[in-house]
């Protein structure tokens, strides 16, 4: 008798958000490393924290609690489109059985958020499929930005920083 292999259900991270948040950055789902660390963008190869360092002066090598606090201090919230899924490895292309987070509820609960930045194409496409109502909310602009993932190696860090600078413009800090 052979054992039936099943892929365990993975549960994402809670939102990083508070009453000061004005921009919401949405990824697709945390990597294995991020889930293990209980940190957004926990893979040191991901360019998210270097981009945030360039934009807001948040030290990418600081402890996670300080980096998270730095984002909130600047009005930036972080969450993922997917609440739970099954996946082997960390690749977005391996995600199955995805269920969306309560994105509209989060935005209703945090009415100062007027912009949603999707961290890459998978986050954007997944939101279109799982939470299409997000794109028709009055007063909320949704925009896809280049992925900070290490899989987006064709784009240099400096080019990602330039593209992500619109987050600063949305916050009125540039």
C-alpha Rg value of the chain to the nearest Å: 16
Matching CATH number, 16-171, of 3.40.50.300, 3.40.470.10, 2.60.120.330, 3.40.50.1370: 3.40.470.10
**Half-sphere exposure for 167 (CA within 13 Å, toward CB):** 31
CB atoms within 10 A of CB 154: 7
pLDDT at position 90 is 62
CB atoms within 10 A of CB 2: 4
Query: Which residues is 29 bridged to in the sheet?
Result: none
pLDDT at position 52 is 98
Please state, in angstroms and rounded to a whole number, the distance separating the CA atoms of residues 82 and 70: 24
Residue 151 is encoded by which pair of tokens?
Answer: 């899989």
Helix axes 64-73, 48-56, angle to 10 degrees: 50
Question: For residues 94-126, b (16+ Cβ closer than 10 Å) or e, as one string?
Answer: ebeebebbebeebbeebeebebbbbbbebbbeb
Residue with tokens 């940190």: 39
Tell me the average confidence (pLDDT) per consecutive run of 10 residues in the chain, 174 residues long.
Answer: 63 97 96 94 95 98 98 98 85 81 98 97 95 96 94 86 97 75
pLDDT at position 30 is 93
pLDDT at position 92 is 67
Asked about 46 being catalytic, the answer comes back as yes
Q: Which residues contact 62 (CB under 8 A, 6 or more apart)?
A: 70
Residue with tokens 């984002």: 71
Domain limits, the chain: 16-171
pLDDT at position 173 is 66
pLDDT at position 88 is 80
Considering only CA atoms, which of 89, 58, 53 is closest in space to residue 73?
58
DSSP 2: P
Q: Which of 46, 101, 119, 152 is flagged as catalytic? A: 46
């Amino acid at each position: 008798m052979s054992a039936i292999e099943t892929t365990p259900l993975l549960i994402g991270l809670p939102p990083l958000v508070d009453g000061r948040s004005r921009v919401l950055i949405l990824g697709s789902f945390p990597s294995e490393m991020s889930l293990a660390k209980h940190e957004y963008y926990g893979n040191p190869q991901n360019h998210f924290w270097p981009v945030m360092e360039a934009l807001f002066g948040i030290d990418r090598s600081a402890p996670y609690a300080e980096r998270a606090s730095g984002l909130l201090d600047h009005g930036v919230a972080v969450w993922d489109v997917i609440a739970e899924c099954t996946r082997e490895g960390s690749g977005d292309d391996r995600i199955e059985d995805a269920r969306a987070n309560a994105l509209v509820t989060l935005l209703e609960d945090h009415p100062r958020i007027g912009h949603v930045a999707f961290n890459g194409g998978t986050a954007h496409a997944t939101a279109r499929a799982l939470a299409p109502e997000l794109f028709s909310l009055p007063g909320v602009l949704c925009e896809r930005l280049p992925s900070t993932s290490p899989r987006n190696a064709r784009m240099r860090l400096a080019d990602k920083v330039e593209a992500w600078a619109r987050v600063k413009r949305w916050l009125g800090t540039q």
